[in-house]
């Protein structure tokens, strides 16, 4: 369940009436690594294993192909949960060795970063020789929207979707947080060992630098957003070799890199 019904009063041209609205759930998830608390993420319950897998990948904590063992340690009725990820210590990456206390709210892309150097992402520029058909963008967004069940009920969730080179939908995930939705959809393909097939990522909101960095780490060469792109997102996209498109609405779109 990703929504809950809440009562409200609808005001329309001076008239009022009671209504019941479906609101997207926002609840805390505590992520433990080897029984020790690592971070607390504000997210929409559901696909928690995928969220954790994608987050650990993006934070350079665990990038191996081996399966991670997840254990639900606590699950409350309000959606608050504690999940432990068991990872051999020798396989923990630099992100864990340099670990800091994190508190990630659903709207924040850099919560927990302590220094300017923490936003740097290293790696070779993506080499992409695929000739993307920009006429496909409208159809891709239509397919993503058709699978946004939580948004259809609440109007309050973000989505991220991954497509392959044949424009086939590989996965779509929703969450109250844009970054969480991206972590979930990447984590889904990581758990299925199919991330190498991802060629294009669609996001339902704006694009910040961290969404571009997550795409770069996952080696996804195309990022297309329905809304705006930040200046740093464009700078990073150019540096990383990512084709970044914003304001994709109907037959219009803006190509930034």
Whether residues 139 and 249 fall in one domain: yes
Same domain as 245, residue 143:
yes
Instruction: Name residues of the chain where pLDDT drops below 70.
Output: 1, 98-121
Find the CATH number of the domain harbouring 231: 3.40.140.10
Residue for token pair 């609405």:
249
Helix axes 48-58 and 209-217, enclosed angle (nearest 10) = 90
Q: Which of 117, 150, 183 is the last residue of a domain?
A: 117
In this predicted structure, what is the pLDDT of residue 114?
41
Domain that holds residue 140: 134-255
Number of domains in the chain: 2
Active-site entry in 108, 200, 229, 243: 108
The pLDDT tens digits of the residues spanning 97-127 come to 766 545 555 555 545 544 445 556 677 888 8
Write down which residue in 57, 86, 117 finishes a domain. 117
148 and 108 within one domain: no
pLDDT number for residue 115: 45
Q: What is the pTM of this model?
A: 0.85
22 lies in a domain? no
Tell me, what's the pLDDT at 224? 96
Please indicate, yes or no, if residue 6 is contained in any of the structural domains. no
Task: Determine whether 229 is an active site residue.
Answer: no
The pLDDT assigned to 20 comes to: 86
Q: State which of 88, 117, 146 marks the end of a domain.
A: 117
């Amino acid at each position: 369940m990703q929504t809950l019904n809440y009562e409200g009063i609808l005001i329309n041209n001076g008239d009022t009436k009671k209504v019941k609205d479906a609101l997207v759930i926002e609840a805390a998830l505590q992520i433990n690594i080897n029984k020790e608390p690592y971070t607390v993420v504000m997210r929409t319950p559901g696909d928690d294993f995928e969220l954790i897998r994608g987050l650990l990948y993006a934070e350079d904590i665990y990038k191996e192909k081996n399966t991670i063992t997840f254990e639900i340690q606590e699950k409350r009725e309000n959606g608050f949960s504690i999940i432990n990820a068991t990872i051999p210590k020798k396989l923990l990456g630099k992100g864990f060795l340099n670990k800091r206390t994190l508190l990630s709210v659903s709207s924040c892309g850099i919560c927990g970063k302590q220094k300017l150097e923490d936003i740097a992402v290293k790696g070779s520029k993506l080499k992409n020789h695929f000739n993307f058909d920009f006429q496909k963008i409208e159809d891709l967004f239509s397919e993503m929207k058709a699978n946004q069940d939580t948004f259809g009920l609440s109007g309050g969730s973000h989505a991220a979707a991954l497509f392959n080179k044949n424009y086939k939908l590989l996965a779509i995930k929703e969450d109250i947080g844009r970054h969480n939705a991206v972590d979930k959809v990447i984590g889904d393909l990581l758990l299925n060992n199919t991330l190498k097939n991802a060629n294009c990522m669609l996001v339902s909101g704006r694009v910040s630098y961290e969404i571009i960095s997550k795409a770069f780490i996952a080696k996804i060469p195309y990022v297309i957003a329905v809304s705006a792109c930040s200046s740093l997102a464009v700078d990073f996209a150019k540096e990383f070799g990512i084709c970044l498109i914003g304001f994709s609405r109907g037959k219009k779109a803006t190509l930034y890199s």
